[in-house]
Amino acid sequence: MSISILRSGVLDTIQDLGRYGYGNQGINIGGPMDTYAMKVANMLVSNAANKAVLEIHFPGPQILFEQNALISLTGADFTPTINGEIVPLWKPLVVRGKSLLMFSHRQSGARCYLAVHGGFCVPQWLNSASTNLKARAGGLEGRKLEKGDEVPLGETNLYYPVLLKEKSVSVLPWSNDRTTVYQYPHEIGFIPGHEWHLLDEEAQQRLLQNNFIIHPSSDRMGYHLRGPEIKPIENFQLISSAVSFGTIQLLPNHQLIILMADHQTTGGYPRIGHVISAHLPKLAQLSASDCLNLKPVDMETAEQLLLVQEKELQIIGNGCTDRMKNAICLA
Amino acid sequence: MEQTSPYEIFPIGDSALTFDLGNRICSELNQKVIAMQEWFSQHAFEGLKDVILGYSSLTIIYDPFIVHKKNKITKTVFAFVREKLESAFENKIESVSKNGEQVELPVCYDGEFGCDLPFIAETNQLSIEEIIELHLSRIYRVYMMGFLPGFAYMGKIDERIQVARKQKPVDVVAGSVGIAGGQTGIYPLDSPGGWQIIGRTPIKLFDPNTERPVKLKAGQHVRFKRIDVTEFEHLQLV
């Protein structure tokens, strides 16, 4: 059981939920940019939430499924096609062996997740399958997928012919509501950070009332924002300490950067704020030239939004499990 | 009036919070946060995902959903985890007297390996030999690991050789020994970096294909030993 990469995309990496417990060695968590889409992708194919998926950027790869497979695509819409036929996102798809998955053009979003029932089987590095590009470890040989790669898939006992009904791809007819997660895509909530007070009233207002544009140099490590100059009130010297996924730092050039999934573990720039976890999925789906504005949120609200999102995920997960049980014959 | 607390606890988002003993590079404060880190490794709570050490701080990364599910949360998850940190501070085993293990690292300061030595010599009005001797004169404490896998922040270096970091990061070769302010460190990987480069070690401080990918850890002490290019090349082959 495997997939073959017939043509490589710009940046396609194997990711599970990340590598935890090694931060004190300078090894970051990594994992998917949009954990929500990644988890739903796994749920749709009856995988555990932490199974390794493929995170795809645009232009995407061309992927050949060597055998029958149960797959799902979530997150960004890069107009996926299987054997030339457009297939929907956010639904389980059964594909016949020797089928070709391609992505024709970018409609919306920045990262698409491909999950396959059984998961991608790569050796674990420090208890995780996530690709750490900087360390050149994890995932497939610590790198992005290239033309000619064959990625093995996990064992499965699904019986596909029943689902395929002689077609090359069959869409299982259920979906889930994800409107709340991605609504108001440009409004990004943040908790003011420890150095928020380094901005005077005027600088704070400038930050809150202006749009910021995501610079093309942005990547999995961080989003460089372009907007009005944000100047701190005084000279300060910070020693290095931990930062997190979503930390908004003020750089010496008076511009902001938002640290993303591949951020380094520690940093010494002022932490102006931290994007709330519930808004990281929609932030992860913004790309270069998109604009965003920052809205302050208190801790209680941030936690509530996240707890609601996680509960919804559980409901989706349970729903997927039930419907899958009804739809398939487990050998 | 309440007594001023010796520490500050603040959120770094809704899934992480930092316990800070003061924005200072100080071995006693560092030893205290290392002790807290050790306490957490024995008293992990469900939902704790990672513990990250800073010079004088400790950061807990947690999953608010799991913490909420597994515990009776009356206010916020943040308040619950903050209490955990407070009790870690109260209960940590004082290990201030415990001296960290000492590690010797060979460094070649010659030629291109110490490419920024001429600049530091000019800026600080010292000869290149004096800079090297001052760098070799101390045993350095590993305060924290961060920035890159296996990058050790060490200190403090002699004031006479302290120098500001570069305005813009440049490409730095793996093994390069740098200095910035009171700190010295070694780049474990090829990476952009802003520290002034004074030498290079042939020892691999990060190797993902070994059982212990990262060689140094916070609390250890590092003594540099000067080697020449021939020894460097020999050790690189080992």
Interface size A-B, in CB pairs within 8 Å, comes to 155
Mean pLDDT, chain B, whole residue set: 92
Question: Residue A175's pLDDT is what?
Answer: 77
* DSSP assignment string, A225-291: EE-S----SS------EE--TTEEEE-TTS-EEEE-TT--SEE-S-EEEEE-GGGHHHHHT--TT-E
Mean pLDDT, chain A, whole residue set: 93
- Residue A327, pLDDT > 80, answer no
Sign of CA dihedral A99, A102, A108, A111: positive
Q: What pLDDT does residue B132 have?
A: 98
- Of chain A, the percentage scoring pLDDT greater than 90 comes to 83
Closest Cα in chain A to B57: A241
Pick the more confident residue, A164 or A133. A133
Do residues A35 and A42 touch, judged by C-beta distance below 8 A? no
- B10, B14, B195, best to mutate vs chain A, most A CBs in 10 Å: B14
Quick check: A135 and B149 CB within 8 A? yes
Nearest to B55 among A21, A240, A264 (CB): A240
Q: Is A235 on the interface with B (CB under 8 A)?
A: no
The first and second tokens of residue A230, run together, are 């944000």
pLDDT at B95 over 70: no
User: Tell me: the pLDDT tens digits for A200-226?
Assistant: 999 999 999 999 999 999 999 999 999
Among A307, A287, A292, A312, smallest CA distance to A248 is for: A292
Buried b (16+ CB within 10 A) or exposed e, A257-282: bbbbbbbbbbbbbbbbbbbbbbbbbb
Can you tell me the ipTM of this complex?
0.92
Q: What are phi and psi of A110, to 5 degrees?
A: -125, -25
Are the C-beta atoms of A283 and A274 separated by less than 8 Å?
no
Q: How far apart are CA B229 and CA B113, in angstroms?
A: 9
pLDDT at A162: 65
| Positive or negative torsion for Cα A313, A319, A322, A326 | negative
* pLDDT exceeds 70 at position A31: yes
Q: Residues B19-51: pLDDT tens digits?
A: 999 888 999 999 999 999 988 888 889 999 999
Is A274 a residue whose pLDDT tops 50?
yes
Query: Do B8-91 and B102-237 agree at the fold level?
Result: no
Tokens 């989706």 belong to A316
Give the pLDDT score at B98: 60
Q: Report whether B53 contacts B151 (CB < 8 A).
A: no
Look at residue A82 and tell me whether its pLDDT is greater than 70: yes
| CATH 2.40.100.10 applies to domain B102-237 | yes
Residue B1 pLDDT: 43
3-state SS, one letter per residue, for chain B: CCCCCCCEEEECCCCEEEEECCCCCCHHHHHHHHHHHHHHHHCCCCCEEEEEECCCEEEEEECHHHHHHHCCCCCCHHHHHHHHHHHHHHHCCCCCCCCCCEEEEEEECCHHHHCCHHHHHHHHCCCHHHHHHHHHCCEEEEEEECCCCCCEEEECCCHHHCCCCCCCCEEECCCEEEEECCEEEECCCCEEECCEEEEECCCCCECCCCCCCECCCCCCEEEEEEECHHHHHHHHHC
- Dihedral through CA B148, CA B152, CA B155, CA B159, nearest 10? -40
Left, alpha or beta for A135 (phi > 0: left; psi -120 to 50: alpha)? alpha
What angle, 0 to 180 degrees and rounded to 10, lies between the N-to-C axes of helices B128-136 and B117-124? 100
Give the distance from residue B78's alpha carbon to the nearest chain A alpha carbon, in angstroms. 8
pLDDT higher than threshold 90 for residue B238:
no
Dist. CA B34–CA A39, nearest whole Å: 34
CB B156 within 8 A of CB B163: no
Beta carbons of A274 and B10 less than 8 Å apart? no
Is residue A126 over pLDDT 90? Answer: yes
Cβ of A244 within 8 Å of Cβ of B24? The answer is: no
Residue B145 near residue B151 (C-beta atoms within 8 A): yes
Of chain B, the percentage scoring pLDDT greater than 70 comes to: 95
Residue type, B232: F
Give contacts of B150 with chain A, Cβ < 8 Å. 25-27
Q: Is the pLDDT of residue A159 over 70?
A: no
Answer for the pair B209, B146: CB distance below 8 angstroms, yes or no: no
Q: Give just the sign of the alpha carbon dihedral B225, B228, B229, B231.
A: negative
Q: How close A133 comes to chain B (CA, Å)?
A: 11
- Residue recorded with tokens 């908004």: A248
Task: Determine the pLDDT at residue A331.
Answer: 37
Adjacent-strand bridge partners of A169: A95
Instruction: Calculate the alpha carbon distances from B221 to A176, A282, B86 in Å.
Output: 55, 44, 28
Q: Are strands A187-192 and A291-296 parallel, antiparallel or unpaired?
A: parallel
Residue B179, strand partner residues: B184, B196
pLDDT level of residue A240 (50, 70, 90 thresholds):
confident
- Which residues between 56 and 115 in chain A have a beta carbon less than 8 angstroms from any beta carbon of chain B? none
Q: For residues A65-72, give the mean pLDDT.
A: 93
Residue bearing the bigger pLDDT, A19 or A163? A19
Chain A contact present for B194, CB below 8 A: no
Q: Which residues are within 8 A (CB) of B1 and not within 5 positions of it... i.e. 6 or more apart?
A: none
Token pair in block for residue A25: 């060695």
User: Given phi > 0 = left and psi -120 to 50 = alpha, else beta, which region is A79?
Assistant: left
φ, ψ (nearest 5 deg) of residue B24:
-140, 150
Domain ranges of chain B: 8-91, 102-237
What is the pLDDT, as a whole number, of residue A118?
A: 93
Q: How many CA atoms lie within 13 A of B172 on its CB side?
A: 31
Judged against a pLDDT cut of 70, whether residue B110 lies above it is answered with: yes
DSSP bridge partners of A116: A71
Specify whether the CB–CB gap between A88 and A72 falls below 8 A. Answer: no
Q: Which residue has the tokens 């290990």?
A: B95
Contact assessment for residue A71 and residue A114, using Cβ atoms and an 8 Å cutoff: yes
User: How confident is residue A179, by pLDDT bands cut at 50, 70 and 90?
Assistant: confident
> What is the three-class DSSP state of A20?
coil
Burial of A166 (0-12, 13-18, 19+ CB in 10 A): exposed
CA A78/CA A92 separation, integer angstroms: 17
Name the residue among A103, A102, A79, A100 with its Cα closest to residue A89.
A79
Q: Which of residues 93-112 of B touch A (CB under 8 A)?
A: none
Domains and CATH numbers, chain A: 2-176+317-327 (no CATH), 182-297 (2.40.100.10)
Q: What is the pLDDT of residues B178-232, one digit of tens each?
A: 999 999 999 999 999 989 999 999 999 999 999 899 999 999 999 999 999 999 9
CATH fold group of domain B8-91 = Gyrase A; domain 2 (3.30.1360)
The amino acid present at A181, given as its one-letter code, is V
Tell me, yes or no, if B70 comes closer than 8 A to chain A by beta carbon: no
- In this prediction, residue A207 carries a pLDDT of 97
Range A17-47 burial, b when 16+ CB lie within 10 A, else e: bbbbbbbbbbbbbbbbbbbbbbbbbbbbbbb
